[in-house]
Amino acid sequence: MKGTRDLLPAETGLWQRVEDEARRILGAYNFREIRTPILEQTALFARSVGADTDIVTKEMYTFEDRTSESLTLRPEATASVVRAYIEHNLFNEGGIHKLYYIGPMFRRERPQKGRYRQFYQIGAEVLGSDHPTIDAEFLEMLVLFLGRLGLREYNLLLNSVGCPKCRAEYLKVLRQALDKVKDKMCGDCQRRAATNPLRVLDCKVETDQPIIESLPHTLDHLCPECRQHFDRVTGELQQRGIPYQIAPRLVRGLDYYTRTTFEMTSNVLGAQNAFLGGGRYDGLSEMLGGPPTPGFGVAIGEDRLILAVEQTASLKPDDRLDIYVAWMGEGALHPASQLARELRRDGLSVEIGYEPMKLKKSLGIASRLGARFTVIIGEGELTAGRFQVKDMSTGQQEEIEPARVAAVVKEKLQKG
């Protein structure tokens, strides 16, 4: 189907490595996993993402079920996480909640490199604090994650879109500026100029960019509290040695953002170069009927991140087979199967043939599967009570008692 794809075993090894690294980093910062439904009530996204955003007006997969209830395949997950936070009364537990998710999202966009209609995100949310250190520590975590993946060439773009108080004043100024130029802009921008002028800054139409560049900056219209918050965030980043660039047009494509917004981009991705983004959303909980709860989060576009890793980083999937068990003669099948079971219990990856075959063919299969070692079991080995363990990279073999095979192989694997 257009805009979707299959991820085959040759590809999924790298995806697993990236997701495993994400779980390690998120765990180090005390995030815990949450899993929300792929289907949600349409109203959830219309209220939170914004009725005039491209996501809601053009991209959501929405349909009515048999009871005429309007449902939507989730286009993003922050709204679902906050909905779950409210629905399950997590706020009654007090303190800060750090949650993360990994899974598919759905938007009917024009397919292109790194962009699909079913795409995958790694996301994380901090609920319960508006302290600027949260913002800086979160960005520090992302920098550490990218470093663990071997990514070095990227840009952190940073902005503040203010709070409802100062944004109202900014929108007055923005509308006045748009009144003078909107007739020269695309149809979407002309409509947004009246309904949601902040969305004009998120326009991607090339011919509109010079006009957008001339519009007032959000940073020039922050209230004292928002200016102080942004200065604290940038100050913290400087103290932590994290480089960033101020991007005064960066508002992100969702209505729930307040104060800090950010993206990370990579030049290897071409025109669609952003592979993660997020920011602060201090009013989203109230918007969804919950208690006042400041929030900060990120959504990492895993499809684009994988592209960047493939092109610029040295991270490779470590999915080679540890051991292939080759047996000759019907009498060897049972002890070979027993050995395979024991080796798997010891944490080794093991494959075993199920049909009798000659040793040469078994070694050929072991080589094709990328096995690091082959354990050879025939009548002679059974009589001697010692199996042959062949290192497939060097061709060297040694006789080892069955009970010691796992320990010997593990030791050799650790030595590389």
Considering the domain architecture, whether residues 52 and 159 belong to the same structural domain is answered as yes
Closest to 163 measured CA to CA, from 246, 254, 224, 91: 224
Handedness of CA 236, 238, 241, 245 (dihedral sign): positive
Domain range enclosing 28 = 9-163+223-312
Burial 385-416 (b: 16+ CB within 10 A, else e): ebbbbbebeeeeeeebebeebbeebeeeeeee
Residue at a domain's end among 266, 289, 312: 312
Considering the domain architecture, whether residues 301 and 333 belong to the same structural domain is answered as no
**Helix spans in 251-378 (H):** 284-287, 302-312, 330-345, 359-368
Handedness of CA 9, 15, 21, 25 (dihedral sign): negative
Residue at a domain's end among 312, 345, 377: 312
Average pLDDT per block of 10 residues along the chain, 416 residues long? 87 92 94 96 84 73 90 94 96 93 91 82 96 95 93 92 88 85 83 81 82 86 94 95 92 81 88 89 92 96 92 68 93 93 93 90 93 94 94 93 93 83
Q: Is residue 328 in a domain? A: yes
Considering the domain architecture, whether residues 285 and 153 belong to the same structural domain is answered as yes
Q: Is residue 197 in a domain? A: no
Closest to 123 measured CA to CA, from 76, 171, 170, 177: 76
Q: Is residue 123 in a domain? A: yes
Considering the domain architecture, whether residues 307 and 345 belong to the same structural domain is answered as no
What's the CATH number where 402 sits?
Answer: 3.40.50.800
Looking at the structure of the chain, the number of domains it has is: 2
Considering the domain architecture, whether residues 282 and 407 belong to the same structural domain is answered as no
Helix (H, G, I), strand (E, B) or coil at 93: helix
Helix (H) / strand (E) containing 140: helix 132-148
Considering the domain architecture, whether residues 286 and 405 belong to the same structural domain is answered as no
Residue at a domain's end among 246, 280, 312: 312
Considering the domain architecture, whether residues 72 and 107 belong to the same structural domain is answered as yes
Q: Is residue 208 in a domain? A: no
User: Which residues, 6+ apart, have CB-to-CB distance to 145 below 8 Å?
Assistant: 21, 22, 25
Considering the domain architecture, whether residues 52 and 144 belong to the same structural domain is answered as yes
Q: What is the pTM of this model?
A: 0.84
Handedness of CA 25, 26, 30, 33 (dihedral sign): negative
Considering the domain architecture, whether residues 351 and 300 belong to the same structural domain is answered as no
Q: Is residue 169 in a domain? A: no
Looking at residue 278, its pLDDT comes to: 95
Considering the domain architecture, whether residues 46 and 155 belong to the same structural domain is answered as yes
Considering the domain architecture, whether residues 137 and 63 belong to the same structural domain is answered as yes
**Helix spans in 160-283 (H):** 164-181, 187-195, 209-213, 224-239
Considering the domain architecture, whether residues 121 and 154 belong to the same structural domain is answered as yes
What residues does 295 pair with on adjacent strands?
127
Handedness of CA 382, 387, 392, 394 (dihedral sign): negative
Q: Is residue 100 in a domain? A: yes
